[in-house]
């Protein structure tokens, strides 16, 4: 594209080979990169009709509006440190013994015999009690979940609820149990899935869930809070699918091949720590800016319809106006990128790095790499306020622009605004705190609801007796073991999930990463983002947060996507060289800012 958007030349217009993206010539790669560990190779779309056949939908698989009312679950809130249990408006004190899963189930069902279906752990993390006996936290969690419980077994699912088996997660696991010879099912979950707590009592946390439910009911008269934010988010979204119009029959799911390609090539949040010499060894200060409710700003436009393949030759034949319209639209592009020779700021586009699903952001002048990126990032690289990058289109997927998430996101934004206002103006400190936690839960519903659209390949977890070790599946990964059992997991591909729309998640993530670099505030006629800070002052990116060495005068109007000042720590400070060091400084900066703002 002439001045600001170079297109593939005749020599580079050939399609890339199947499964392996074209590599730049060795002479174009700096010596420091040539000696680095080999990066992952991202998949490509196959040549010819094989690749063209990917551009369709999976027959008989579409997101449709549910014709049933979701059932609420009887829920209790338990502090595993103190044994305080809150059920409805009553508080009980339990003896949890060693806080094993067996101890918790026994104590809870002795106190609430009529049947509990969900137990939220509000504090105590009982699955970490024996962590010092295991090399990894996951091992301790798996052992806690899989310990035998007299009278109970691992749940196998029921009715419309296909969730079965335990979910092994280092911080927020899910234990699913079923009473033997009974239809009694119960989950043990961490409330940390919804929001971070700060020593909040179970009564406050229960109040937060009540406020959340009441606020959601103003927009969905059949709203039910499900076990996790992602489940709740997707269920609420299905209840906004239009009953008339073009998509009244639902939103069809892409072919499994395109879903797999998006899974492999569309990263999520940008997490990057910039270390010396790109930043000073001693930082004058560390300032944290967090984009409030960031993903909610990028749901107004999403890809819909049957995607089209845009080859390098097709793109090169278009006019500059057609090219820019395509890049501004809903697309996912395979590109060869060259960093300008005089570039002195942060990287703009991600490249595959060594390691599973790892990404880095090349910024060294002259570096050339091949990657996939969404339209918002490509557009930003070509029109950024400093200097356009050279982008060569190698292949692409282009959809029509649509609004499948707009109604859902607007309702969640209004819910968030309402609860945030309650938190600010509520006179009762306990109710103000509950409203704040509820507003954070709304953020999680949208954030993890979007993530759920991405549909990762399904992982199956199982256990095998040590005496039958040979029966562990050959393609399984052993994740924990003890004297009696081996716990393993293995991928089983993509499930036939009617709500699998990785193209929506990819578009939102791309827009959010682009907004970390540059974002226009139309009403203030100004811009914000990393590229509007001086070179050498950006220390880190963390999903929707920026860490800088200089404060910025960016507008903040309590709107989704605005940059909120979250922390300010004066230096000199040693530049962090690890995530742990960065988080330590972040926490200190938040504390320092809060202290300075106190009357």
Per residue in 204-218, pLDDT tens?
999 999 999 999 999
Q: Say yes or no to pLDDT of 156 above 90.
A: no
For residue range 258-291, what is the model confidence (pLDDT) as tens digits?
999 999 999 888 999 999 999 999 999 999 999 9
The torsion angles phi and psi of 70, rounded to 5 degrees, stand at: -65, 140
Asked if 404 contacts 247 with a C-beta cutoff of 8 angstroms, the reply is yes
Q: Say yes or no to pLDDT of 15 above 50.
A: no
Share of the chain above pLDDT 70, in %: 89
| CA distances to 208, 230, 291, 551 from 569, in Å | 31, 34, 19, 11
Q: Say yes or no to pLDDT of 31 above 50.
A: no
For residue range 539-553, what is the model confidence (pLDDT) as tens digits?
999 999 999 999 999
What is the rounded distance in angstroms from the CA atom of residue 56 to the CA atom of residue 256? 9
Confidence tier at 459 by pLDDT (50, 70, 90): low
| CA distances to 22, 382, 507, 561 from 329, in Å | 25, 14, 10, 20
Looking at residue 158, what is its pLDDT? 59
Q: Say yes or no to pLDDT of 157 above 80.
A: no
Looking at residue 162, what is its pLDDT? 53
Q: Which helix (H) or strand (E) holds 215?
A: helix 202-217
Q: Which tokens belong to 405?
A: 């998430």
For residue range 395-409, what is the model confidence (pLDDT) as tens digits?
999 999 999 999 999
Confidence tier at 125 by pLDDT (50, 70, 90): very high
Q: Say yes or no to pLDDT of 19 above 70.
A: no
Q: Say yes or no to pLDDT of 1 above 80.
A: no
**Which of 148-162, 374-388, 427-441 shows the lowest per-residue confidence on average (mean pLDDT)?**
148-162
Q: Are strands 57-63 and 75-79 parallel, antiparallel or unpaired?
A: unpaired
Confidence tier at 470 by pLDDT (50, 70, 90): confident
What is the rounded distance in angstroms from the CA atom of residue 318 to the CA atom of residue 542? 37
Q: Say yes or no to pLDDT of 160 above 60.
A: no
Mean pLDDT, residues 481-502 taken together: 76
Q: Say yes or no to pLDDT of 34 above 60.
A: no
Closest Cα to residue 41, out of 371, 316, 514?
A: 371
For residue range 430-453, what is the model confidence (pLDDT) as tens digits?
999 999 999 999 999 999 999 999
Q: Say yes or no to pLDDT of 6 above 70.
A: no
Choice between 472 and 411, residue whose per-residue pLDDT is larger: 411
Length of the chain equals 599
Mean pLDDT, residues 39-58 taken together: 90
Mean pLDDT, residues 62-81 taken together: 91
Confidence tier at 469 by pLDDT (50, 70, 90): confident
Looking at residue 40, what is its pLDDT? 74
What is the rounded distance in angstroms from the CA atom of residue 562 to the CA atom of residue 380? 18
Q: Say yes or no to pLDDT of 136 above 80.
A: yes
What is the rounded distance in angstroms from the CA atom of residue 572 to the CA atom of residue 551? 15
Choice between 489 and 3, residue whose per-residue pLDDT is larger: 489
What is the rounded distance in angstroms from the CA atom of residue 464 to the CA atom of residue 472? 6
Q: How many CB atoms lie within 10 A of CB 439?
A: 25
Query: Exposure pattern of 234-264 as b/e (b: 16+ CB <10 Å)?
Result: bbbbbbbbeeeeebeebbbbbbebbbbbbbb
Q: How many CB atoms lie within 10 A of CB 42?
A: 18
Mean pLDDT, residues 564-571 taken together: 94
Q: Say yes or no to pLDDT of 23 above 60.
A: no
Q: Say yes or no to pLDDT of 32 above 50.
A: no
pTM: 0.84
Looking at residue 491, what is its pLDDT? 66
For residue range 162-176, what is the model confidence (pLDDT) as tens digits?
556 888 899 999 999
Q: Are strands 545-548 and 282-291 parallel, antiparallel or unpaired?
A: antiparallel
Looking at residue 494, what is its pLDDT? 59
DSSP state of 456: P
Q: Which residue has the tokens 């040693």?
A: 574
Choice between 134 and 490, residue whose per-residue pLDDT is larger: 134
Looking at residue 53, what is its pLDDT? 94
Closest Cα to residue 296, out of 342, 233, 235, 355?
A: 233
DSSP state of 80: T
Q: Say yes or no to pLDDT of 507 above 70.
A: yes
Q: Say yes or no to pLDDT of 159 above 90.
A: no
**What's the distance, Cα to Cα, between the start and end of the chain in Å?**
56
Q: How many CB atoms lie within 10 A of CB 287?
A: 24
Q: Say yes or no to pLDDT of 86 above 60.
A: yes
- Compute, in degrees rounded to 10, the torsion defined by CA atoms 87, 215, 450, 124: -30
What is the rounded distance in angstroms from the CA atom of residue 110 to the CA atom of residue 18? 60
Asked if 168 contacts 151 with a C-beta cutoff of 8 angstroms, the reply is no
């Amino acid at each position: 594209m002439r001045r600001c958007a170079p297109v593939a030349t005749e020599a580079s217009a050939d399609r890339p080979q199947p499964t392996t993206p074209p590599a730049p010539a060795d002479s174009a790669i700096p010596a420091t990169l040539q000696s680095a560990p080999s990066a992952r190779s991202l998949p490509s779309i196959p040549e010819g009709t094989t690749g063209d056949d990917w551009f369709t939908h999976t027959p008989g698989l579409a997101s449709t509006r549910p014709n049933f009312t979701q059932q609420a679950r009887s829920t209790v809130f338990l502090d595993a440190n103190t044994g305080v249990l809150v059920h409805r408006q009553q508080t009980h004190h339990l003896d949890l013994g060693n806080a094993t899963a067996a101890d918790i189930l026994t104590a809870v069902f002795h106190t609430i015999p009529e049947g509990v279906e969900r137990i939220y752990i509000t504090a105590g993390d009982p699955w970490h009690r024996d962590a010092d006996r295991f090399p990894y936290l996951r091992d301790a969690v798996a052992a806690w979940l899989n310990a035998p419980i007299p009278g109970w077994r691992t749940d196998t699912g029921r009715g419309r609820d296909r969730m079965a088996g335990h979910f092994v997660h280092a911080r927020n696991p899910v234990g699913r149990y079923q009473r033997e010879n009974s239809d009694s099912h119960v989950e043990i979950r961490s409330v940390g899935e919804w929001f971070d707590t700060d020593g909040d009592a179970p009564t406050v946390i229960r109040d937060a869930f009540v406020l959340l439910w009441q606020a959601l009911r103003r927009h969905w008269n059949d709203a039910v809070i499900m076990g996790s934010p992602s489940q709740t988010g997707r269920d609420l979204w299905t209840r906004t699918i239009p009953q008339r119009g073009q998509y009244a029959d639902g939103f069809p799911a892409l072919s499994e091949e395109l879903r797999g390609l998006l899974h492999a090539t569309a990263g999520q949040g940008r997490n990057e720590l910039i270390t010396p010499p790109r930043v000073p060894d001693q930082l004058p200060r560390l300032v944290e800016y967090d984009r409030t409710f960031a993903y909610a700003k990028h749901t107004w436009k999403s890809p819909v319809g049957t995607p089209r393949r845009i080859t390098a030759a097709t793109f090169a034949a278009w006019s500059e106006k057609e090219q820019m319209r395509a890049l501004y639209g809903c697309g996912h592009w395979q590109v060869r990128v060259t960093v300008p020779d005089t570039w002195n700021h942060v990287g703009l586009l991600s490249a595959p790095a060594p390691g599973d699903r790892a990404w880095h952001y090349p910024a060294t002048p002259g570096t050339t790499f091949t990657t996939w990126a969404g339209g918002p990032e490509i557009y930003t690289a070509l029109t950024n306020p400093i200097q356009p990058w050279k982008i060569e289109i190698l292949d692409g997927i282009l959809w029509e622009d649509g609004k499948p998430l707009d109604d859902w996101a607007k309702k969640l934004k209004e819910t968030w605004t309402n609860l945030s206002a309650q938190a600010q103006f509520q006179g009762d400190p306990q109710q103000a705190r509950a409203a704040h936690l509820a507003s954070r839960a709304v953020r999680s519903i949208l954030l993890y609801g979007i993530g759920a659209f991405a549909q990762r390949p399904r992982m199956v977890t199982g256990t095998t007796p040590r005496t039958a070790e040979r029966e562990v599946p050959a393609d399984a990964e052993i994740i924990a073991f003890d004297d009696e059992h081996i716990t393993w997991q293995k991928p089983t591909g993509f499930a036939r999930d009617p709500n699998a729309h990785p193209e929506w998640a990819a578009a939102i993530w791309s827009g959010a990463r682009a907004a970390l670099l540059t974002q226009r505030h139309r009403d203030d006629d100004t811009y914000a983002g990393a590229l509007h800070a001086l070179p050498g002052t950006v220390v880190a990116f963390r999903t929707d947060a920026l860490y800088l060495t200089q404060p910025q005068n960016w507008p903040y109007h309590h709107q989704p996507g605005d940059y909120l000042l979250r922390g300010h720590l004066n230096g000199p400070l040693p530049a962090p060289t690890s995530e742990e060091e960065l988080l330590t400084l972040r926490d200190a900066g938040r504390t320092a800012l809060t202290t300075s703002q106190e009357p």
